[in-house]
Chains A and B, each alone.
Chain A
Amino acid sequence: MPQNNAESTHAVVIVGIRDEASQAPVARAVAQVAKNASLEQIEKRIKTLPWTLTKSANSSTAARLVKLLEEAGAVVRVDPPLEEPVVAREAQPDVERAPRAAVEPSAPQPIAPGSGPGIAAERPQEDSWVVSAEALEIGPLTLGGILDRTFQICKNHFWKLIGILVVPWLVIALLSMIVALGFGMFWLAGSFAGAGTEFPWLLLIPALGAAVVVIIVAIAVFYLSQGALIYAVSAIYLGRPFQVLSSYRLVLDKLVRFIFTSALCAFFATMLVVVPILVGVVLFFVSKGLFGSGWWSALTWIPLAIVPTYAIPKLLLFDKVVVLEDKAYFQALNRSWNLMTGKADSPWPAGYWLRFVILMHLFVFINIAISLLFSVPATIFQFLVPESLTTVARVVSQIMSNAGSLIASLFGSVGVVVFYYDIRNRKEGFDLSMLAAASEPRR
């Protein structure tokens, strides 16, 4: 029984443009779905056709691409050709259809090594303008679907996303190193100059100043990277181009609002914990006065604990709102609360709050798995190295542990952005608006 395990992928190639006037619309159409390329670059590239946009589009993605490009005026070839869906054939008996000649069966194409059967290899490998398949597949997801999409995004854009996250670590490490070296050398110089080994108290003033600077820079860089990551994941999700630097640049304008909204959120979260505790303490004494024992107030502990447990997660989409919707402070918190309120029309868990809480717990498991990957080899390494290299082993172990935390945090951050869009798709039909915008009515 001969079997052929081929990925059902299609190459989508622009082989021509109907007329000169169509060049700009085609470039704009490509810009909607291409990543890592500006409109100017696309316009330039279009002048040297053929251009293989992607080699790995699934049937529906390829069909949508063809539709988008043909309507803009491009002549498109698909390898292997798409089958004309029966429904689409029957759909418009009396309506003039867009020319389909571009999707004609083409002659067999040369096959690039490792690119899979039937996939044309005309575009040079170094050209990284690839159409993002994720862009054209947005819509409501199940919990498993959200996790799948998270892994898919992390898998396809791993190094770029890690690149965004690693910046604050590097900056903080560099700053700490500079400060430590600076003060260490200063102290050493003082010791050699005969100042003795007493602690130079005067050094405390610049040390405190440096510490404050490091803390401020660390906070700023941390929020910048978080914002840049949200922006980047959003761009991937929506199929828009993004680059590490441009993600940072875009968030820079919103940085102050982002930090202060985060502070506001932290304040409310603290209040949501502190107020029930204070109420609990008061109830303890009230109950002591009324019943002789304060422990009767324990009956109120569960309802009191429900308040922060319920309310705090509802505020946690504020960062997405600040970065992606340009709202800040109370508006952002309010928006996050509203987004997290309601139920999805899906099997259990339906409530958005519950979905979020379960998702967070699932990410805890994923984080444990990722952390194990790094911590276990690090621990084994520490045991294996000779005693003289203990310091090196400790440094290696610390680096590996940090790498584990970094990668683990990536999955959680990406997952919450996907979750945010999932709520918007469900509650606001965000994907439908995108679909409507991507395909203008024919008439």
Chain B
Amino acid sequence: MEKNGPSVSIETADHFELRFRIAGIGSRFLAFLIDRTIQVGVLVALFFLMLLILLTGSGFALFGERLVRLVEPLGQWVIALLILAEGVVSIGYFLLFEYLWNGSTPGKRVVKIRVIRNDGRPISFIDSALRNVLRFVDLIGGVYPVGLVAMFIDSRNRRLGDLAAGTLVVEDAGGKAPLFIKNQPRVHQSDQLLKQAVAEMSGEDYDLLSRFLERRNEMDSERRKELAWEIYVRIFNQPGHRPATDGDLEKALDTIANLYRETTRIL
């Protein structure tokens, strides 16, 4: 999968280099929308839970009366309390998850990004608090207009909260397994042509071949055949020196890829 955006490398005290790819603005926006949906879902669920409690045992007739009795003495403070509650849920959600989940939230997990400190270490509670308190400024209007401008201008896509707290949002590789980790069956290929072609393959030939094999299932069948043929011809570019494929070009390409991996010890 191709990624977007710049990357940062951070040198640790023992001169070990950590590399991170900066999360794109789009991914961050998507993560925020997912988190916001969860928050709204939780608030709505709480509201209905409250309704249920008020309704239970009293019946619908008494419900309105109870609600009025509950709200009336508070007057306009109700609105203030509701805004406060919404703020607490909004900020508390990010603060808590980012602190407990090593810079991640459910939304960030879905799009595979997380928050780290500028020095590559996990964020602390204070960092999380600082970047999330400033979320109020980034979030004016509810859809991140200020944050969007800040991220658009900053080379590392940082919003105001990130700049203040010294944090970065990076793509989370999450220890992804290599593509060919499975133990492939050994290829006992006696065909000299095949061996020679594989020995002559460049890294880019293999890159092309492996990408094709990885993604062939979502390709249109005609185009899939064409591409398979193009790659085959690229590897065996002399018409007289092509091994028999028994009509199954992709199987031949699979064999070539396996043989190349065996020869070069690529996982």
Closest to A142 in B: B1
- A257 is an interface residue with CB less than 8 A from chain B: no
Contacts of B152 in A (CB 8 A): 151, 154-155
Cβ B1 vs Cβ A58 within 8 A: no
Could you tell me if A145 and B33 are in contact, using CB atoms closer than 8 angstroms? no
Q: Which of A5, A58, A88 contacts B119 (CB 8 A)?
A: A5
Given the known inter-chain contacts A3-B11, A87-B266, please indicate yes or no for A436 contacting B218, CB distance below 8 A: no
What are some 21 contacts across the A-B interface (CB < 8 A)? A1-B13, A9-B6, A87-B203, A91-B203, A93-B263, A138-B2, A142-B1, A145-B3, A147-B24, A155-B152, A369-B143, A369-B144, A369-B145, A373-B145, A428-B220, A429-B212, A433-B230, A435-B207, A439-B202, A439-B204, A441-B234
A296-341: which have CB < 8 Å to B?
A: none
Are A428 and B223 CB-contacts (below 8 A) given A91-B264, A92-B199, A443-B200?
Answer: yes
Give the residues in chain B near A254, CB-CB below 8 Å: none
B184 at interface, CB cutoff 8 A: no
**A-B pairs, 5 with minimum CB distance:** A147-B26, A148-B24, A139-B2, A345-B218, A144-B27
Residues in A neighbouring B218, C-beta threshold 8 A = 342-345, 426-427
Interface residues of B, CB < 8 Å — how many? 67
Task: Tell me if A149 and B26 are in contact (CB < 8 A).
Answer: yes
Selected from A370, A372, A427, A443, the residue in CB contact (under 8 A) with B219 is A427
Instruction: Flag if A5 contacts B118 (CB, 8 Å).
Output: yes
In the bound complex, residues from chain A placing their C-beta under 8 Å from that of B106 are none
Q: Is B190 interfacial (CB-CB < 8 Å)?
A: no
Contact yes or no, B8 A6, CB < 8 A: yes
Q: A137-B3, A148-B24, A432-B211 are in contact. Are A87 and B202 (CB under 8 A)?
A: no
Shortest Cβ distance from A367 into B: residue: B143
Contact B33 A370, beta carbon cutoff 8 Å: no
* B7 CB–A CB distance under 8 Å: yes
Residue of A4, A5, A91, A345 touching B215 (CB-CB under 8 A): A345
Chain B residue at smallest Cβ distance from A338: B220
Bound together, the chains give a CA A442 to CA B204 distance in angstroms of 9
Contact A442 B25, CB 8 Å, known A1-B12, A5-B119, A376-B141: no
CB distance from A431 to the nearest CB of B (A): 8
List, in ascending order, chain A residues with CB within 8 A of B227's CB: 429, 432-433
B208 touches A432 (CB 8 A): yes
Give, as a whole number of angstroms, the nearest-CB distance from A199 to chain B: 45
Question: Chain B residues with Cβ under 8 A from A88's Cβ?
Answer: 203
Interface assignment of B249: CB less than 8 Å from any CB of chain A: no
Which residue, A6, A343, A344, has most C-beta atoms of chain B within 10 A?
A6
Contacting B at CB under 8 A, from A390-443, are 426-429, 431-433, 435-436, 439, 441-443
Residue of B nearest to A347 (CB): B110
Contact A365 B143 (CB under 8 A): yes
Within the complex, what minimum Cβ distance (angstroms) separates A352 from chain B? 10
A87-B264, A442-B202 are known contacts; what are 10 more A-B pairs with Cβ within 8 Å?
A2-B11, A5-B8, A58-B6, A90-B265, A139-B2, A144-B24, A342-B218, A344-B218, A370-B148, A431-B2
Interface residue B63 (Cβ < 8 Å from any Cβ of A) = no
Q: Once bound together, how far apart are the Cα atoms of A286 and B234, in whole Å?
A: 64
Asked whether B55 is an interface residue with its Cβ less than 8 Å from the other chain, the reply is: no
Question: A1-B119, A87-B203 are contacts. A140–B215 as well, Cβ < 8 Å?
Answer: yes
Chain B residue contacts of A58, Cβ below 8 A = 6-7
Contacting A95 at CB < 8 Å: which of B6, B199, B212?
A: B199
A148→B208 contact, CB < 8 A: no
Q: Assess the B234–A147 pair: CB atoms within 8 A.
A: no
A427 and B208 CA atoms in complex are apart in Å by 16
In the bound complex, do residue B208 and residue A436 qualify as a contact, i.e. CB atoms below 8 Å apart?
Answer: yes
A91 to B146, CA, bound (A): 49
Would you give the 0/1 interface string for B203-228, flagging 1 where the beta carbon is closer than 8 Å to chain A?
Answer: 11111100110010111100110010
In the complex, which residues of chain B have a beta carbon less than 8 angstroms from the beta carbon of A54? none
B79 / chain A contacts, CB cutoff of 8 Å: none
**In contact, B24 and A428 (Cβ under 8 angstroms):** no
Interface residue? B130 (CB, 8 A): no
A152 vs B25: C-alpha distance when bound (angstroms): 8
Contact assessment for A426 and B215 in the assembled complex, using a CB-CB cutoff below 8 Å: yes
Q: Does B237 sit at the interface, judged by CB under 8 A?
A: yes
The answer to whether B11 touches A4 (Cβ under 8 A) is yes
CB neighbours (8 Å) of A342 from chain B are 218, 220
> Residue A137 contacts which of B4, B8, B25 (CB distance < 8 angstroms)?
B4
Within 8 A of B (CB), among A343-386: 343-345, 362, 365-366, 368-370, 372-373, 376
